[in-house]
């Protein structure tokens, strides 16, 4: 049996609100509880003591057929007029059912086609119809309709919150890491975010003005020579002259060697007991409500030792034949370079013998500048830009990661030569 909660009612005569159910008459105007009285269960709940709960009837109040007063079930005569309980035709639940039926009929007469309201009214009336049947034990069963929908919603919400809290605690207990490992993980994430932030700062485009104080250029030609060289490989080229072969390790294969027994402490969830919780409330029809209690399993986490077989591998060398030989081929010999600060870069003129040839050509063009903060730095540009820039020019640029992404304006001798 659950705890008893005292409800409240509002006086329909003078309008006084939140009158405790224990008061049969309104303490403000003296009007008694009647057919217009509707009991409510407020939050926070007003629990009745265990001793007082024993004296409270679990049956609904009955309505006096002569004066309309509501009387407690244990009162065999009306407190107001003395009419007997046997003459009563209705109890509290019947009155509420008739009110609901009246509302449903009124909505239907006004053409209310809202299916939800209609269905709800019929379902409520069907359940309330059972109230005509007097239970053998004199109690209203657990399906007595709770007319206080607001309180029912509140109880259901509290039950869901308790369920979510239990699920969350269970989830935390099953996490495969400790508070220390979580702390270390958060520190690692923080360090990663710091690195990302610094990278974004370095690569973020920014505007600057550069004053050119010098220009440089460099051109290079790779020269290759036809030579006899010694080489080794896992296969012998067609035009090679073999010196000797040797069996050597070509690579390693990962081979299963044995299994190792590993013992580890793992979390295990188990039922450690049961708890009683409030799953709902039952309207007693006399201003009081009884908690409906249920039981559920309580889970805890313990650590148990479990073993598993972990494979251990070894690196097995794989031998193959390696060839040592000599071969005639073109190989890099040297670079022929030119450089300077003049405005007209040039390539070195080459006169190569038959066993040499020209390879790849490369070129680099740079200028040295001072920015707004008087910091000196050298930048690399393409040939056309380099030829257009002159010592003494100032340029407005967009920089990113230490490189020029865009030249927005060129200033020369106090006049703008180019500006985008």
pLDDT (mean) for 126-134:
36
pLDDT (mean) for 63-69:
94
Locus of tokens 């309008």: 15
Token output for 397: 């640029």
Residues with Cβ < 8 Å from 120, sequence gap 6 or more? none
- Tell whether the model's pLDDT for residue 45 goes beyond 90: yes
H or E element that contains 149: helix 149-173
DSSP calls for 93-139: HHHHHHHHHHHHHHHHHTT---HHHHHHHHHHHHHHHGGGSPPTTS-
Q: Which of 99, 68, 7 is nearest to 285 (CA)?
A: 7
pLDDT (mean) for 322-346:
95
Torsion of CA 366, 371, 377, 383, to 10 degrees: -10
CA distance 155 to 333: 89
- Local confidence band at 405 (pLDDT 50, 70, 90 cut-offs): confident
Is the bond leading into 37 cis (omega within 30 degrees of zero)?
no
Q: What pLDDT sits at residue 401?
A: 81
- Local confidence band at 234 (pLDDT 50, 70, 90 cut-offs): very high
- Tell whether the model's pLDDT for residue 146 goes beyond 50: no
Q: Lowest-confidence range among 5-19, 72-86, 107-121, 233-247?
A: 107-121
- Tell whether the model's pLDDT for residue 333 goes beyond 70: yes
The sign one gets for the Cα dihedral 111, 115, 116, 120 is positive
CA distance 327 to 348: 31
pLDDT (mean) for 213-217:
95
Distances (CA, A) of 83 to 72, 75, 194, 379: 13, 11, 84, 109
Looking at every residue in the chain, the average pLDDT score rounds to 83
CA distance 70 to 72: 7
- Tell whether the model's pLDDT for residue 225 goes beyond 50: yes
Q: What pLDDT sits at residue 128?
A: 35
DSSP calls for 302-335: EEEEEEEEEEEEEEEEEEEEEEEEEEEEEEEEEE
CATH numbers and ranges of domains, the chain: 4-152 (no CATH), 153-203 (no CATH), 206-221+334-419 (2.40.50), 226-280+292-332 (no CATH)
The sign one gets for the Cα dihedral 252, 253, 259, 263 is positive
Q: What pLDDT sits at residue 123?
A: 36
Three-state SS for 92? helix
pLDDT (mean) for 29-36:
94
Q: What pLDDT sits at residue 149?
A: 42
What is the CB neighbour count within 10 angstroms for residue 80?
A: 17
- Tell whether the model's pLDDT for residue 113 goes beyond 80: no
Q: What pLDDT sits at residue 117?
A: 34
Token output for 130: 């059972």
Residue, of 244 and 107, whose pLDDT is higher:
244
- Tell whether the model's pLDDT for residue 279 goes beyond 80: yes
Residue, of 180 and 32, whose pLDDT is higher:
32
């Amino acid at each position: 049996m659950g705890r008893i909660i005292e409800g409240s009612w509002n006086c329909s005569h003078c309008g006084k609100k939140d009158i405790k159910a224990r008061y049969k008459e309104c303490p403000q105007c003296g009007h008694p509880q009647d057919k217009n009285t509707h009991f409510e269960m407020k939050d926070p709940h007003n629990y009745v003591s265990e001793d007082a709960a024993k004296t409270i009837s679990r049956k609904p109040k009955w309505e006096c057929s002569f004066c309309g007063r509501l009387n407690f079930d244990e009162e065999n005569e009306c407190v107001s007029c003395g009419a007997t309980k046997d003459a009563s035709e209705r109890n509290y639940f019947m009155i509420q059912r008739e009110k609901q039926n009246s509302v449903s009929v009124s909505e239907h007469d006004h053409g209310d086609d809202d299916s939800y309201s209609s269905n709800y009214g019929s379902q409520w009336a069907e359940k309330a119809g059972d109230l005509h049947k007097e239970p053998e034990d004199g109690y209203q069963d657990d399906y007595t309709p709770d007319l206080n929908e607001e309180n029912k919603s509140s109880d259901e919400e509290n039950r869901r919150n308790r369920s979510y809290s239990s699920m969350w605690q269970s989830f935390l207990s099953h996490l495969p890491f400790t508070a220390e490992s979580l702390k270390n993980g958060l520190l690692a994430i923080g360090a990663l975010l710091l690195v990302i932030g610094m990278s974004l700062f370095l690569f973020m485009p920014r505007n600057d003005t550069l004053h050119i104080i010098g220009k440089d250029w460099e051109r290079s030609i790779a020269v290759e020579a036809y030579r006899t060289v010694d080489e080794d490989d896992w296969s012998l080229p067609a035009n090679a002259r073999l010196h000797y072969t040797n069996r050597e390790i070509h690579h390693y294969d990962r081979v299963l060697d044995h299994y190792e027994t590993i013992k580890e402490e793992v979390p295990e969830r188990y039922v450690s007991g049961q708890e009683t919780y409030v799953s709902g409330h039952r309207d007693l029809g006399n201003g009081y409500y009884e908690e409906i209690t249920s039981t559920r399993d309580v889970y805890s986490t313990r650590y148990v030792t479990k073993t598993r077989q972990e494979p251990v591998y070894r690196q097995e060398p794989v031998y193959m034949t390696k060839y040592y030989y000599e071969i005639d081929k073109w190989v890099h010999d040297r670079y022929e370079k030119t450089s300077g600060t003049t405005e007209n870069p040039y390539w070195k003129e080459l006169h190569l013998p038959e066993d040499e040839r020209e390879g790849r050509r490369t070129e680099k063009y740079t200028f040295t500048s001072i920015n707004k903060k008087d910091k000196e730095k050298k930048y690399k540009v393409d040939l056309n830009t380099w030829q257009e820039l002159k010592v003494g020019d100032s340029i407005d640029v967009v920089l990113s990661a230490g490189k020029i992404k865009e030249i927005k304006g060129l200033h020369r001798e106090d006049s703008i030569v180019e500006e985008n």
